[in-house]
Every structure is written in C-alpha cells, then in structure tokens.
C-alpha cells in the first residue's frame, strides 16, 4: 500500500511511461479491425466500417479511470465533521467494470461503510471513488481492496468495510456459462475487522448479516 506522500513523483513517472508507449488512435482502430477479422468478419463491409472508431471511443469511456487519482480526489473533498461517531454506510453503488482476464464486463454493486475519526466525505465522492477504480481493467478482489485501502489511507477512519457483489460476463456468456452466479468479495479494515459487532452492524445495514467474516477477502 503506497502512502500519499511521494505519490506525485511515482505518478508522473508512470504517466510519462504511459504516454511514450500508448498507441495512437489509428493504431488502436487497426487493432479492432484485426479482432473483427479474427472473429471471422470483414471490417470493410458497410456495417462494420465505423465500428473501430466507435470501439475506441467506447474504450475512452470504459477506461477513463486511468486518468484520475482517487486519493487526490478524496483528499480535496473531505470535510471536518467533529463529533460524528457512528458508522456511515453507502450501499448499492452500481458499477460497470471489465475483467482484466477477458476484457468482459463485470456488473455489480459496491457497499461501503466506515467509522469516521474526524473526516466525513460526501456520498457522491464515495460513488465517484468506485467509478474511478471500476473504469480500469480489474479483478473484483483487487477493486474491493483498492477502494478500502484508498478510504483508509485518505480519511484515516477507525475502520473501513467494503463488500462487492457482481456478475462476470466472462462466466455467464462463455466458459462455464453460469448465468445468475454472483461473486461476493469483501475487505474489512480496523474496527470492522477486529470487532464482530461493528462488522455485523455494517452487514445488516447492507442486508448481508452473518455472511462475511472479518478476515479480509471473502
């Protein structure tokens, strides 16, 4: 887990590396044409002519999360809320992401809880935090842990709880073809990990009482 201090240098280094290696739009479109041919179709037929351009624009939207640093974002928006000492829960934050193994959609919901120390962040910022991580190539376990770790690092609360429920289209539309299967992952930090009562308070708030234990990913 990296600390906020020193992040700037790391980030600009990797951003520079990314700019140097990032393909041009024309190269990205050519890659889509190759995949169309690989699928068995003709990228020059009328219905497919504009497809590479559309796919590349869709990628800009689906993967917009690489441009943002969620930690900076949260840091800018926290508010002092001295005296509030109850668990804050935001549930059913819908997200759309893509699995890094197949580039297939992952669609689901994230539930976030935290016990503030002094800082409370606006609920729209929590939803935004989920979106930034979702709009990257992901595996669900990593995304769940990243959201928890970011909140923990920036807000320094007494604890953070994150539960993600999602369906993976690489499971439902190919491979083992299991529609209706939902994957649940969780990350519990601080009081949510150490105190069963606080964890249960969060789990019942999101309607999952008793189903998740304190030892990290579930």
List, by residue number, the catalytic residues: 99-102, 140, 168, 170
107 near Zn ion (CB under 5 A): no
Q: Which is nearer to Zn ion, 127 or 170 (CB)?
A: 170
- Which tokens sit at 37? 């041919």
How deeply is 93 buried, as exposed, middle or buried, from its count of CB atoms within 10 A (0-12, 13-18, 19+)? Answer: buried
Q: Which stretch binds Zn ion (CB under 5 A): 20-28, 66-74, 92-100, 192-200?
A: 92-100
Gap between the Cα atoms of 70 and 32, Å rounded: 30
**Number of residues in contact with Zn ion, rule: CB under 5 A?**
4
Number of other CB atoms surrounding residue 27 within 10 Å: 10
Q: Which is nearer to Zn ion, 99 or 126 (CB)?
A: 99
Collapse the DSSP code of 178 into the 3-class scheme (helix H, G, I; strand E, B; otherwise coil) and give the result. coil
Could you tell me the sign of the dihedral formed by the alpha carbons of 182, 183, 187, 191, in that order?
Answer: positive
102 near Zn ion (CB under 5 A): yes
101 near Zn ion (CB under 5 A): yes
170 near Zn ion (CB under 5 A): yes
75 near Zn ion (CB under 5 A): no
Gap between the Cα atoms of 106 and 116, Å rounded: 30
174 near Zn ion (CB under 5 A): no
- Residues forming the site for Zn ion (CB under 5 A): 99, 101-102, 170
């Amino acid at each position: 887990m990296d600390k906020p201090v020193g992040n700037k240098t790391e980030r600009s280094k990797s951003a520079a590396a990314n700019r140097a290696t990032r393909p041009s739009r024309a190269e990205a479109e050519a890659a889509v044409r190759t995949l169309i041919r690989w699928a068995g179709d003709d990228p020059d037929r009328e219905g497919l002519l504009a497809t590479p351009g559309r796919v590349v624009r869709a990628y800009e939207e689906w993967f917009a999360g690489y441009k943002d640093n969620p930690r900076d974002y949260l840091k800018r928006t926290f508010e002092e809320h001295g005296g509030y000492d109850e668990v804050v829960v935001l549930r059913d934050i819908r997200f759309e992401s893509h699995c890094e193994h197949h580039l297939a959609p992952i669609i689901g919901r994230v539930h976030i809880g935290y016990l503030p120390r002094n800082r409370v962040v606006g609920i729209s910022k929590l939803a935004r935090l989920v979106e930034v991580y979702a709009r990257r190539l992901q595996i669900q376990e990593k995304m769940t842990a990243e959201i928890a770790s970011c909140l923990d690092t920036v807000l320094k609360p007494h604890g953070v709880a994150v539960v993600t429920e999602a369906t993976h289209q690489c499971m439902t539309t190919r491979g083992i073809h299991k529609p209706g299967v939902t994957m649940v992952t969780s990350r519990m930090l601080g009081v949510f990990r150490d105190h069963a009562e606080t964890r249960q308070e969060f789990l019942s708030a999101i309607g999952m009482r008793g189903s998740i234990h304190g030892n990290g990913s579930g």
